[in-house]
A and B are shown apart, each in its own frame.
Chain A
Amino acid sequence: MKRLTWPLVTLAVLLLVNVIYKPDFFSITMVDGHLFGSLIDILNRAAPLILVAVGMTLVIATKGIDLSVGSVIAISGALACLLISKSEDASALNVVLIAVGAALLVSVVSGLWNGLLVGGIGIQPIVATLILMVAGRGIAQLVTDGQIITISSEPYSFIGAGYLAGLPFSIFIVAFVLLVSALLTRRTAIGLFIESVGCNPEASRLAGIRSTFVVFLVYMFCGLCAGIAGLILSSNVSSADGNNAGLWYELDAILAVVIGGTSLNGGRFYLAGTVLGALIIQTLTTTIYSLGVPPEITLVVKAVVVLLVCLIGSEQFRSKWKKDKAAGKVPSKKEVTA
């Protein structure tokens, strides 16, 4: 639990800032049987990021990285919207189901492609997924023909904008995916396999783990998560934009994973930490909006957060700081790094 302390403190501080600025921050009201409030809003908006970050956590646990998630988000949303817009009755449930199924299938295939390159051919993950990151956005634009496809389909918009039992439906999707991945990785051996592949793929292969298969699996899962996030994002705005959907998501997802305490060196992963990381990022964004600071400055804040998290995680930095403190010196290096 100790490793969750810092993310929790960060989140608490952020929430505190919000309460001081806006005393009714925690209040949740009921309108038309739906719950409304800043907290619900943060949860709802964070849903796609949490999904992508959970997939990314498992990929990073195998010492990999998936840069293509943003493009997969765009492809998934584009394909679903295209299929619905081409059908005769956009509101028919079976049309929506087919569209969702097709989009998820393509997402899994995208993940499989990444997995093949990383696990099968042995290309560095950052390069292997770079290919789909570059080409994927082109594919998404090809699907939408370079236009923004707008649709009006009630069942489809339910995915991202609907409510169930007073809560946004996307929260339930996230909870379901989280539950499944937590059960799979912590109650079965697959989590252990993932960590052992992240520590040393060759050793785990010798120990009898089919490490290639594990790599395939995590990239496919990451693709699937990105695909679901793409559905939520596109259904929320009832449109698909091949060019801008999911832009920068790969970076935010990696950031969430790192804040959550999962090391980029692989071998360990913390799903709960990742969820906290994603919530911190979303709360930060919301806070910056509500404080009236130009939203663009979020980037500067994010940059400082990334650096601080990495520096605290760096042994060299900590030992240097401790040494300086022991010697009674003021750590002069801090200015350079902050």
Chain B
Amino acid sequence: MSKLRIGSQFVPALVTMVLFCLMFLAASAQYTGFFSAQVFLNLFIDNAFLIITAVGMTFVIISGGIDLSVGSVIALTTMISASLVEHHGWSPMVVIPLVLVIGSLFGWVMGYIIHEYQIQPFIVTLAGMFLARGLCYVISIETITITNETYTAISQAKVPLPGGNYVSISVVLALLVVGLAIYLAHYTKFGRNTYAIGGSESSALLMGLPVGRTKILVYTFSGFCSAMAGVVFTFYMLSGYGLHAVGLELDTIAAVVIGGTLLTGGVGYIAGTLFGVLIQGIIQTIIMFEGTLSSWWTKIAIGILLFLFILLQRVLVSRKAKAA
């Protein structure tokens, strides 16, 4: 019986992985030139920032919360980086660590308010979203283009892979974050505490787990991830702009949900989230290859996928509740 229960936790994440493979194969059969390692690698190149953001969001959602500020923090990061590097002549070596600290601090403050004053994460991070977006415009209303050599060099650098393929430095960073997150989630006390809080906060409290500290840390980590994604996004766009990454929080939540993380908290896998992002990426790639389908089909397709996965989760949860 217990074997079956562990199995049902894995099902959504497994479905996502299988679905991804099926979509890739089907698209390969349909379109010439789709079945290549570079098309696969481009999914990572184009979505590196989304992968990093979604990793942070996965922790937040596993802990039973939500973080709506991620897109705005990305925009703020691009804005601060661009402004400091271009207008103030700071070295990227100083700016990049600085924005990572700012992002983490931003997450920390939100986590602090959420825990200390028992206000819903939804509303606090919503305020954080407004605040970060607003601060972008306080810095500048216009786009700031980045011409700094270090940034352009990193942006254009290719990490060669066997077979003439390549990935960008951003992909390496994204995979490092994924690796770090898998370690944090499954091999550290912090990770176990996060799962425990998401499962039942009051039980976690009774067990003597540091609920407050863990919750604040989860939001700090999400803030760090968003800032990291912002750095990667800066490499990708080579500019700072207040309207960068609008609506990204929803793409991120969608990726996490499609990746099999339960929005009620307590269940989820970083690897699942990775595939959640890749599925969104492959939908976009298929639409690009199709040529005639317009971009809004991406949104509709993601909506339908989101619906199916939530339905699947719902069925699994209710079956589990009945079994218990």
A residues near B, CB below 8 A? 65, 117, 121-124, 126-128, 130-139, 141-142, 145-146, 242, 251, 254, 258, 264, 294, 296-304, 306-307, 310-311, 313-317, 333, 336-337
Closest 6 CB pairs of A and B: A135-B303, A138-B299, A296-B137, A299-B134, A300-B134, A303-B131
Q: Report the Cα distance A313→B117, complex, angstroms.
A: 10
Q: How many chain-B residues does the 8 Å CB contact rule pick out?
A: 48
What are the interface flags for B285-303 relative to A under an 8 Å C-beta threshold, 1 for contact and 0 otherwise?
A: 0000000001111111011
- Minimum CB–CB distance from B82 to chain A (whole Å) comes to 16
| Residues in B neighbouring A126, C-beta threshold 8 A | 66, 122, 263
Contact across chains for A138 and B298 when beta carbons are under 8 A apart: yes
Determine the distance from Cα of A316 to Cα of B134 in the docked complex, in whole angstroms.
28
Q: Which residues of B contact A (CB under 8 A)?
A: 66, 109, 112-113, 116-120, 122-124, 126-131, 133-138, 141, 242, 250, 253-254, 257, 263-264, 294-300, 302-304, 306-307, 310-311, 314, 318
Contact A311 B119 (CB under 8 A): yes
Report the Cα distance A141→B303, complex, angstroms: 14
Q: Is the interface of A mostly helix, strand, loop or mixed?
A: helix
| A and B contact pairs by CB, cutoff 8 A, 21 listed | A117-B310, A121-B314, A123-B314, A132-B303, A133-B250, A134-B250, A135-B307, A136-B303, A138-B298, A296-B242, A299-B130, A299-B134, A300-B138, A304-B127, A304-B131, A306-B126, A307-B113, A307-B127, A313-B119, A315-B118, A337-B117
The answer, among A130, A142, A310, A313, for a CB contact under 8 Å with B250, is A130
Q: Return chain A residues, CB-CB under 8 Å to B264.
A: 124
A53 to B296, CA, bound (A): 27
Contacts of B298 in A (CB 8 A): 138
Q: Which residues of A have CB within 8 Å of B66?
A: 126
A135 near B131: Cβ-Cβ < 8 Å: no
A146 in contact with B131 given A311-B117, A314-B119 (CB within 8 Å)? no
- Known contacts A124-B263, A300-B138; is-contact A146 B118 (Cβ 8 Å): no
Give the nearest-CB partner of A295 in chain B.
Answer: B137
Closest to A127 in B: B263
- B250 / chain A contacts, CB cutoff of 8 Å: 130, 133-134
Residues from chain A with a CB closer than 8 A to the CB of B257 are 127
The CA of A42 and the CA of B311, in the complex, are separated in Å by 43
- Asked if B294 and A146 make an inter-chain contact with CB atoms under 8 angstroms apart, the answer reads yes
CB of B34 to closest CB in A, whole Å: 23
Chain B residues contacting A258 (CB-CB under 8 Å) are 123
Considering the complex, give the chain B residue whose CB is closest to the CB of A315.
B118
In Å, the complex CA distance between A333 and B118 comes to 15
Q: Which residue of A lies closest to B127 (CB)?
A: A306
Q: A133-B250, A251-B126, A297-B137 are in contact. Are A138 and B297 (CB under 8 A)?
A: yes
B134, B141, B253, B295 interface centre (most CB from chain A within 10 Å): B134
Complex interface: chain B residues within 8 A of A304 (CB): 127, 131
Q: How far is the CB of A209 from chain B (nearest CB, A)?
A: 22
**B131 contacts across to A, CB distance below 8 A:** 299-300, 303-304
Report the separation of the CA atoms of residues A296 and B135 in the bound assembly, to the nearest whole angstrom.
9
The answer on a CB contact under 8 Å between B116 and A316 is yes
Residues of B within 8 A of A251 (CB): 126, 129-130
> In the complex, which residues of chain B have a beta carbon less than 8 angstroms from the beta carbon of A313?
119
A303: which B residues are within 8 A, CB to CB? 127-131, 134
Complex contacts, B128 vs chain A, CB 8 Å = 303
Name the A residues within 8 Å of B127 (CB-CB): 303-304, 306-307, 310
Q: A142-B294, A300-B131, A337-B117 are in contact. List 14 more A-B contacts (CB 8 A).
A: A117-B307, A124-B264, A127-B257, A130-B254, A134-B250, A134-B299, A135-B306, A146-B294, A242-B296, A296-B242, A306-B123, A310-B127, A314-B118, A315-B118
Residues of B within 8 A of A314 (CB): 117-119
Q: Say yes or no: A310-B124 contact (C-beta < 8 A), given A123-B314, A127-B310, A138-B303.
A: yes
- With both chains docked as a complex, state the minimum distance between the C-beta of B113 and any C-beta of chain A, in angstroms: 6
A215 nearest CB across to chain B (Å): 16
Of all chain B residues, the one with the shortest Cβ separation from A255 is B126
Question: Once the chains bind, are B299 and A131 in contact (CB under 8 Å)?
Answer: no
Q: How far is the CB of A122 from chain B (nearest CB, A)?
A: 7
**A121 touching B300, Cβ below 8 Å:** no
Q: Using Cβ atoms and an 8 Å threshold, which residues of chain A touch B123?
A: 254, 258, 264, 306, 310
Hey, which chain A residues are within 8 Å of B120, CB to CB? 264
CA distance A141 to B295 in the complex (A): 9
- Cross-chain contact of B130 among A123, A146, A302, A317 (Cβ < 8 A): A302
Q: A124-B263, A142-B296, A316-B116 are in contact. Are A306 and B130 (CB under 8 A)?
A: yes
Q: A307 vs B128: C-alpha distance in the bound complex, in angstroms?
A: 9
Given the known A-B contacts A131-B303, A303-B127, are A121 and B311 also in contact in the complex, defined by CB atoms under 8 Å? yes
Residue of B109, B122, B299 near A137 (CB, 8 A) is: B299
Chain B residues with CB below 8 A from A336, complex form: 109, 112
Chain B nearest CB from A81 CB (Å) reads: 16
B117 touches A317 (CB 8 A): yes
Chain A: CB-nearest residue to B108: A336
**Closest CB in chain B relative to A67 CB, distance in Å:** 8
The CA-CA distance from A127 to B263 in the complex, in Å, is: 8
Q: How far is the CA of A264 from the CA of B300 in the complex (A)?
A: 29
Residues of B within 8 A of A317 (CB): 117
- Complex-state Cα separation, A304 to B302, whole angstroms: 33
Tell me which residues across on chain A come within 8 A of B135, comparing CB atoms.
300
Chain B residues whose C-beta falls within 8 Å of the C-beta of A297 in the assembled complex: 134, 137-138
Residue of A nearest to B242 (CB): A296
Bound state CA distance, A182 and B11, in angstroms?
A: 47
Contact flag A307-B134 (CB < 8 Å), given A126-B66, A130-B253, A314-B119? no
Q: Are A294 and B303 in contact (CB under 8 A)?
A: no
Q: How far is the CB of A173 from chain B (nearest CB, A)?
A: 28
The residue in chain B whose Cβ has the minimal distance to the Cβ of A265 is B120
Q: How far is the CA of A124 from the CA of B314 in the complex (A)?
A: 10
